[in-house]
A and B are shown apart, each in its own frame.
Chain A
């Protein structure tokens, strides 16, 4: 104990401070901020977001992400976060539902439209619908009904017709 106290009480010359070795890891950007993952590089992005960063807006869907509850954008492409090991996210930029609103709290037009059209059931699948809808509007600013039909998401609460209204509300707003 005395020894430990000596270490604290006796100032060292600044020149002898050895910085901690930089930990090797996977560098990536999430919602505009830099992160370094130092754990298992096979860990799927979903569990890194949820268990490590506690960004829980991206939901568990299934082992292969079929329900679409775990969709995120990686370098602007829509992907299932459970299907993507951290190794493959190195150097990439990830957008989750938490990153859709502006830094000032201003909602993305689709987020606002989902509220205005009540395109929400229990709300568990909503982040996935939002990410898929953002991706759709990024690719087609005025999507047709057939293009909206291609959204991969599933919802038992039956929010589909209200999601369609929300997407059209944003598309029409962009046209006006």
Chain B
């Protein structure tokens, strides 16, 4: 191992903690990822400006603390929770902490990018787990340095000093503010080994509720999203995309468009050949660039544009039929046998009871509130972008490929993001903005209109699940056979064929580990409809099918479905599912029992309203929903929703409550109403009326969230509130209406069957 600069400490082979003296006596502590151990520290990292922060904690001489949030916050609250993890170890006064979004952290490694902040994605449920692993040391080290700086000034050894809310305090009560100590602390060599972290009994912020750091800015209209950014004299571009990804311009007359006052230019865009889906233009497009949005929109309306269809003529109805045919073909070989425990065929033969059912789920769109947009300025010396992305490193790859600029010439700022749900893991809109910005000598703000946003998405594939389970005479499930057909979200993205199942089904999903003979087969289908990562994938679709089917098993046993579930889960134990995944049946049963108690499940048989229940396991986190529904004529009311989550240690209970309640409503909204359809390969949904997110009236009045306290490493909760919500609703609908909904969207199917 090479010698380190005396202002860095090695945390692992490639990670270094770094201490820097900033301007005006500031202390800066950050983490950096290095390929080589002896990298010099670029002066730019000294943090003269907030956006050049280059580190995670900065303590200024006036005692104010700035903490950088490295992960984009798409509304999941990580820009609050992660800085609080750092601030707690630092013993900072939260009222004096400001949080700054970091933008992409990249530096030049001989022309290649080096990601200097490590983890930098948002909305995938891994921000808090990743921060728990590496961010606490940042706060702890800054605190250690402040203690070393305080010791000589207070004349007390550092181990007899304590820290509290921004002060180092001596046993006799004398104290020094962090601001007074920052300059001296910045000159102290960091510890030679990692600092001992706090014990949980000393947490002051972790586990306590906090408002979102951006809340005040949001409610006063001051929060700046990418679409609100005006990089000086910015031009605005709007697009008209071809409805067919393989179509082309048949005729284009721009004369009326260019006559609109304020229209600057009309340009055509095309997908680049050989580039993976999501990294180039999605479909051929005509862009109208103007001095303001209104002129651009008028210009677009006046285009005389005729698209020539490509060869594609697929329909969503045809796709669903293909999926159903494939799943019903007993001789069809699966694309991937995702899990195969025991011997399903042999065990299935000597069954006392067999239950079978098939579930169909539709295509879905992302429908982010803030449409796709990107501000880009590109010239020969550099590119500066404002990107509403969940993955700035991937956005960088697109910018670099299209500009040929070096890592240090590309700046990507990421403000708060108006919803992600997986849509912003793709960067087609970044490619478009860069292509347009190269053609004009001003910054360009690309804005997708709502119709483009809904009809030019990377959709979640429709799917068909078929289950066959057998039970023995003691009501135990002895074999479980899941067959699922869908079009993989990973196709056309350079993922090998034998990994395409990963976006469609989880190898560890329930009831894996609970049934001795269990098989999970995935059947991949081709489709011309572009697909992408959807929120909660692959859990949401699978949980609906699996947890509906468990209810059907209970019904066939003429049994309370909670009893059936608790028998399936069994005694509290740890079940190894492979790949380091461990299912804790005690925690799973606990969330089920909590929601059952809260919704008064004992009335399940008696109440005229319908009670439904479901649970799910997601990578170390546990969730259950219980839902009460009533029916007035053919109007379905969701009377009560209770959700319990167990994520291990809770960082911000207020943030977690909001995230879980929100994800619950998102899942209910989606299950109730939503469906993307296409004919002749053209998506038929163009606005909110066609793709009706649930109205306030359709949703429950309250969401009751129970948070299980825990002390294990925190698991992510980005989408945790989703998987069990829709099956709990469908199971409640069955109780109240006797209609078993095996096809989503639920309302349409329920009304058809009533």
Contact = CB atoms under 8 A, between A and B. Distances in A.
Q: Do A and B come from one complex?
A: yes
Interface of A: 40, 43-44, 47, 50-52, 54-64, 66-67, 69, 96-98, 100-101, 107, 111, 114-116, 118, 120-127, 130, 145, 148-165
13 contacts: A56-B221, A59-B227, A62-B451, A63-B451, A107-B219, A118-B658, A121-B75, A123-B214, A130-B219, A149-B696, A156-B369, A157-B419, A160-B694
B370 interface: yes
Nearest to A125: B369
B343 interface: no
Nearest to B123: A122
Contacts of A47: 292-294
Contacts of A156: 367-369, 419, 421, 666, 669, 693
Interface string B401-428: 0000000000000001111110000000
B696 A61 contact: no
B44 interface: no
B688 A63 contact: no
Given A122-B418, A124-B225, 5 more contacts: A51-B293, A155-B369, A156-B368, A164-B696, A165-B702
A123 B696 CA distance: 17
B662 A121 contact: yes
A38 to B, nearest CB: 13
Contacts of B368: 122, 156
Interface in B693-714: 693-697, 699-703
Contacts of B227: 56, 59-60
A23 B665 CA distance: 51
Interface in B217-255: 218-225, 227-228, 230, 236
Contacts of A164: 696, 701-702
A102 to B, nearest CB: 11
B665 A126 contact: no
Given A56-B224, A62-B450, A158-B665, A120 B215 contact: yes
Interface residues of B, number: 62
Contacts of A159: 658, 662, 665
A148 B697 CA distance: 8
B126 interface: no
A153 B696 contact: yes
Tell me the dominant secondary structure on chain A's binding face: loop
A121 B719 CA distance: 13
A122 B222 contact: no
B212 interface: yes
Contacts of B450: 60-63, 67
A158 B655 contact: no
Contacts of A59: 225, 227, 369-370, 418
A7 B162 CA distance: 71
Contacts of A114: 215, 219
Contact of B222 (A50, A60, A98): A98
A33 to B, nearest CB: 15
Interface in B324-358: none
Given A51-B292, A51-B293, A157-B419, A127 B221 contact: yes
A147 B701 CA distance: 12
A58 B221 contact: yes
A133 B688 CA distance: 20
B220 A69 contact: no
Interface of B: 74-75, 211-212, 214-216, 218-225, 227-228, 230, 236, 261, 292-294, 367-371, 416-421, 447, 449-451, 654-655, 657-658, 661-666, 669, 687-689, 693-697, 699-703
A122 B417 contact: yes
A106 B695 CA distance: 31
- Name, among A43, A62, A152, the residue most crowded by chain B CB atoms within 10 Å (CB to CB): A62
A124 B701 contact: no
B699 A67 contact: no
Which of A145, A149, A161 has most chain B Cβ within 10 Å? Answer: A161
A155 B658 contact: no
Contacts of A115: 211-212, 215-216, 219
Contacts, number: 184
A164 to B, nearest CB: 6
B696 A50 contact: no
B75 A157 contact: yes
Given A121-B658, A130-B219, A153-B696, A161 B225 contact: no
A62 B370 CA distance: 10
Given A57-B222, A101-B220, A120-B658, A154 B292 contact: no
B293 A40 contact: no
Contacts of A66: 687-689
A175 B372 CA distance: 43
Contacts of A145: 701
Contacts of A63: 449-451, 687
Highest count of chain A CB atoms <10 Å: which of B369, B658, B669: B369
Contacts of B220: 57, 97-98, 100-101, 107, 111
A86 to B, nearest CB: 10
Contacts of B367: 156
Closest CB pairs A-B (n = 7): A57-B221, A122-B75, A158-B665, A124-B418, A158-B662, A62-B450, A56-B228
Contacts of B687: 62-64, 66
A155 B222 CA distance: 19
Contacts of B225: 56, 59, 123-124
A121 to B, nearest CB: 4
Contact of A51 (B211, B294, B702): B294
B700 A161 contact: yes
Given A57-B221, A107-B219, A124 B292 contact: no
A161 B294 contact: no
A101 to B, nearest CB: 6
A125 B665 CA distance: 15
A165 B702 CA distance: 8
A57 B225 CA distance: 10
Contact of A150 (B666, B697, B699): B697
Contact of A52 (B74, B218, B292, B699): B292
B449 A122 contact: no
B472 to A, nearest CB: 41
Contact of B697 (A50, A67, A149): A149
Among A40, A97, A158, A163, residue most surrounded by chain B Cβ atoms (within 10 Å):
A158
Of B222, B261, B451, B664, chain A has the most CB atoms within 10 Å of the CB of B222
A28 to B, nearest CB: 16
B374 to A, nearest CB: 14
B648 to A, nearest CB: 21
Given A67-B688, A120-B658, A123-B218, A158 B666 contact: yes
Contacts of B658: 118, 120-121, 159, 162
A120 B80 CA distance: 13
A67 B702 CA distance: 21
Contacts of B417: 122
B230 A54 contact: yes
A120 to B, nearest CB: 6
A166 B204 CA distance: 27
A60 B220 CA distance: 16
B394 to A, nearest CB: 20
A56 B221 CA distance: 7
Contact of B661 (A52, A58, A98, A158): A158
A122 B370 contact: yes
Contacts of B418: 59, 122-124
A63 B367 CA distance: 15
A175 B215 CA distance: 26
Given A57-B220, A124-B225, A161-B665, A40 B261 contact: yes
A154 B450 CA distance: 13
A121 B419 contact: yes
B292 A123 contact: no
Residue from the set A50, A60, A145, A159 with the largest chain B CB neighbour count within 10 Å: A60
B427 to A, nearest CB: 19
Nearest to A163: B696
Contacts of A158: 661-666, 669, 703
